[in-house]
Amino acid sequence: MRDRRVIGLVVAAGAGERAGGGVPKQYRRLAGRAVVARACDALAAHPAIDAVHIVIGAGQEDLLAEAFDGNPPAWTIGGATRRDSVRAGLAAIDGAIVLIHDAARPFLPAAVVDRLLAALDGADGAVPALPVADTLARGGAVLGDTVAREDLNRIQTPQAFPLALIGAAHAAWPTDEEATDDAQVARAAGHSVALVAGDAALDKLTTADDLARAEARLAAALVSRTGTGFDVHRLEAGAELWLGGVRIAHDKGLSGHSDADVALHALTDAILGAIGDGDIGSHFPPSDPQWRGAPSRLFVEHAAALVAARGGVIDHVDVTIICEAPRIGPYRDSMRAAIAALLRLPERRVSIKATTTERLGFTGRGEGIAAQAIATVRLSEDQ
């Protein structure tokens, strides 16, 4: 199969209203990462998959950008129905094999992809399936006759096909009918579709309860880690003073290559320390002119995005600012709000404190400001 280009096509155009939350379910976050991003991550991580393409609904561009922290994979606007969206996605990609996957199935084991691609050696298509284990019965308010469950399966995604084959099958499907999945379209065109073993992890997220269970599952697999940060910057006349993402009126400002927000620099290092990924200087070298005068919020957002990319969650951050002046108290609430917005945390999970050195040392003499921070992060054990 490796001599053929394999594309993962993620269908994310639905409204997803039954899950609640004010946004379509594919854009809801699980442990800090959007559902659609987790679905794409799982496909992109498989060594046999060459690229991932997303189909989104009209007007969902901003949601998509936010879901991927401003850097989404290639995408296409879909149509009014799932079949319309799949057809739009198929027309936008170039490859030999396509794996069509629902964005609402974010937990894709690599072994399922292996089985699907292997099955294409002897069939026109392949889908993951799980046998029906529960008793089935007809009826509404009153229980009716049971239905034999032998040879009944629950069909999942991704569903794998040669791109040209499934594209032609969709083109031949009657325009006044709606298909439940792509395997139905392929079979209607006369193609054989193999069943491979699916996985319970692939169950579709539909309701708010489904999302809550998924969140609990992810949380149970995470371990807590902490990181600390410390930074110092010199005070000088004529510079703006930024602390904790807030501009403060003062007769002096902090000197540095960026805006020298010492509180956000310490916080960035704390988050990077919690995930064991270097320090602020290794990610944003002061020798690089592109960071001259840059707002320090970019550094915090970058560190938070690294946590999210690893499937992690930032639980709490605590920043202590060390200076004689200015007084931090009047700005504390604004700093908490600014940092909470950067990290997408409730303000109750952001602590801002201030202290002096009783006029001792460089901070006591008003020569500079120091800050220290600690971040508590949860990651999976293999991260």
For residue 74, give the H/E element and its range: strand 74-77
**CB of 353 closer than 8 Å to CB of 374:** no
Q: Which residues contact 163 (CB under 8 A, 6 or more apart)?
A: 7, 90, 93, 95, 96, 97, 98
**DSSP string over 309-378:** HTT-EEEEEEEEEE-SSS-SGGGHHHHHHHHHHHHT--GGGEEEEEE--TT-HHHHTTSEEEEEEEEEEE
pLDDT, one tens digit for every residue, the chain (383 residues): 446 899 999 999 987 666 556 789 999 988 778 999 999 999 999 999 999 999 999 999 999 999 987 889 999 999 999 999 999 999 999 999 999 999 999 999 999 999 999 999 999 999 999 999 889 899 988 999 998 888 899 999 999 999 999 999 999 998 888 898 999 999 999 999 999 999 999 999 998 999 988 888 877 777 899 999 999 999 999 889 999 999 999 999 999 889 999 999 999 999 999 999 999 999 999 888 888 889 999 999 999 989 887 878 899 999 999 999 999 999 999 999 999 999 989 999 999 999 999 999 999 999 999 999 999 999 876 65
Nearest CA-CA partner of 159 in 182, 191, 185, 133 = 182
Entry pTM: 0.67
Q: What are phi and psi of 116, to 5 degrees?
A: -65, -45
H, E, C per residue of 84-145: HHHHHHHHHCCCCEEEEEECCCCCCCHHHHHHHHHHCCCCCEEEEEEECCCCEEEECCCEEE
